[in-house]
Amino acid sequence: MMLPAPLITTNRASYFLLLCLAICLPIAASAYLSKTQPHALHLSDYRSYQCSTGNTQAQRPFRVLTLFYTYATELADTLCANELIRQQFSAVEILWRPRSYLGANHILDEDFDIFWNRHHVVSGLVPEFSNFYTTLTETPTYELYWISKDSVPTLTTDYLKEKTIGFSRDSQSQTHFLQPMSALRQAGISLSAQQKKFYTDPSAIYAAFNNNEVDIISGPLPRAKADDGAKVYTSLIDSAVPSGAWFIKNNLLALDNIHQVECAILNSLAVYAPLFDSINRPTIEQPACL
């Protein structure tokens, strides 16, 4: 027995009108959308920060590049609050980017007023970088250790035979690639591919160590600990690893009050003191700032 279809039998015109709309509307909508250009989505840049100095007459901002988010906003705010910086610049803009971000063009074009990196990275990009940037201040050296949960790490074939070591994928990393690789090479140790695991950043390396994905990692002494409270063992790789330097662009050196500006920048960089205190290394003394 068939169910009645009152819409079809009693109102045929309405039925065909609805049927036509059901077919035509999607086609019309598709045609409209095909002619409409989608608007680009402008995503916020979560790796930069800017503060205003309040100087609307200044021509440009003071630009800073560093590798880490830690204390980046504090540095910018401190610079923005400095009277000398406020007199010269409209704002302070700070970017934190991976080490690989810095390119030769940034140095040649003097894109940043100051930036932090290691000397070997900067000179590797532009051997004559001193034509464009001058070292403003060296950041403190630090002690680097092998870290293990098993026993005191020793660079012998027997000790490392069945152990895996965590490294950084960043081949320019002193802490997690260059220094440990150099120590192994000097000891005549050749690890198999299975004994080396590579990670994108330091936090991933420490997480792998805590999750027992690797047996040994390298790091500063404050990182020689396990999240679960397990005892860890260390052995020294190097007692004085250079951490890097702040570089200032040469164009700024032409300012009449460059000594005062340098002092303003150096005093603002004091926001990083807790970071270096944590690795128990003294800060490098700077010339007296008035």
Give the pLDDT confidence of 232-287 residue by residue, as tens digits. Answer: 999 999 999 988 999 999 999 988 888 999 999 999 999 988 877 656 444 444 55
Q: For the chain, give every domain's residue range.
A: 48-140+243-277, 142-241
What one-letter code names the amino acid at 137? T
Residue 70: count of CB within 10 angstroms of its CB: 14
Topology match between the domains 48-140+243-277 and 142-241: yes
Cα four-point dihedral sign 179, 183, 188, 192: negative
Within the chain, where are the H helices? Answer: 6-10, 12-35, 72-81, 83-88, 104-108, 119-125, 157-160, 179-186, 202-210, 258-268, 273-277
- The pTM for the full model equals 0.68
CA–CA separation, 90 and 80 (whole Å)? 9
Kindly indicate the confidence band of residue 230, based on its pLDDT and cuts at 50, 70 and 90.
confident
pLDDT of 100 strictly over 50: yes
- The correct CATH number of 142-241 out of 3.40.120.10, 3.40.190.10, 3.60.20.10, 3.30.70.20 is 3.40.190.10
The DSSP secondary-structure symbol of 129 reads G
Across 225-232, average pLDDT = 83
CATH number for the domain running over 48-140+243-277: 3.40.190.10
